[in-house]
Amino acid sequence: MEKPGPQRNKTYRDVKSAILGRITEGKWPPGALIPGEVELAQAFGCSRATVNRAMRELSDEGLLDRRRRAGTRVRAAPLRRARFEIPVVRTEIEAAGAVYRCALVSREAVAPPDWLRARLNLGPGGLVVHLLCMHYADGVPYQLEDRWINAAGLPQALTADFAVTGPTEWLIATVPYSEVEISFLAAAADETIGAHLEFAPGEPVFCVERTTWWQGQAITHVRLYFRRGHRMTTRY
């Protein structure tokens, strides 16, 4: 590998760009074993730490496969991580130029059903707050929110006024989260979903299911059912 002539100290961004250039130009084709950090540091006239950061970012972006004692190779098929942002429904509706309204349909503090106890790994006893909320855009049904909040992890939920502030906005303002699991599915409309979103019983409904934890303790589980024709898009 040729060494460049004298020049300013390279930043990790310079090194990252140079490595990426060699990959895109075909000098290091898919599957190729690229030089080690020490050799690259000498070639680019920078520290090994600078090279390490550049290669770490390229690995995180799915372009390099780094293995201890086996070296670093160009990935044959770069990995891509799709990221979905689930916006606050108020923000989503208002961004579309519509008037937002939230209505609390029902609220109760109950013992968690067996499926939820297993899903959230809840111990015996305890309560969950079960909320059903409708969200409207210009007065038209937009989303049905079916939410469960673990009162052991968030006792404030037992007394919070969700008629004033919707559950999602209240949770964002009240507690952070350390882990999230999101699923996308086609659910079959039951009587409740059908009545609020105008679906026939059994008709498929786009649903986002999300569970959040804070430091190992389950905080909330929600199913968000959307009106007919709703779409989520990501680009990566």
What is the average pLDDT across 117-131?
Answer: 93
Output DSSP code: residue 11: P
Distance CA 126, CA 151 (A): 7
In the chain, the domains with their CATH numbers are: 12-74 (1.10.10.10), 89-226 (3.40.1410.10)
Identify the DSSP state of 231.
-
Identity of residue 63? L
Taking 50 as the threshold, does the pLDDT of residue 91 lie above it? yes
Sole residue written with tokens 């109950």:
110
Q: Percent of the chain scored above 90 by pLDDT?
A: 67
The pLDDT value recorded for residue 131 is: 97
Residue 4: predicted pLDDT: 46
**Is 31 exposed, middle or buried (CB count within 10 Å of its CB: 0-12, 13-18, 19+)?**
exposed
**pLDDT-derived band at 2, boundaries 50, 70, 90:** very low
Task: Please give the average per-residue pLDDT across 40-61, as a whole number.
Answer: 91
Number of H helices, E strands in the chain: 7, 9
Question: What average pLDDT does this structure show over 204-210?
Answer: 96
User: Per-residue pLDDT for 116 more than 80?
Assistant: yes
Q: What is the pLDDT of residue 5?
A: 47
Structure tokens at 69: 């004692």
Cβ(219)–Cβ(176) below 8 Å: no
What pLDDT, on a 0 to 100 scale, did the predictor assign at position 6? 46
Which of the four pLDDT bands, split at 50, 70 and 90, describes residue 87? Answer: confident
Q: Which long-range contacts (CB under 8 A, 24 or more apart) does 45-52 make?
A: 45/3, 45/4, 45/6, 45/7, 45/9, 45/10, 46/9, 46/10, 46/11, 46/14, 46/15, 50/10, 50/11, 50/12, 50/15, 51/12, 51/15
Give the pTM.
0.69
Q: What is the pLDDT of the chain when averaged over all its residues?
A: 89
Cβ 173 vs Cβ 204: under 8 Å: no
In the chain, what percentage of residues exceed pLDDT 70? 92
> At residue 164, does pLDDT exceed 50?
yes
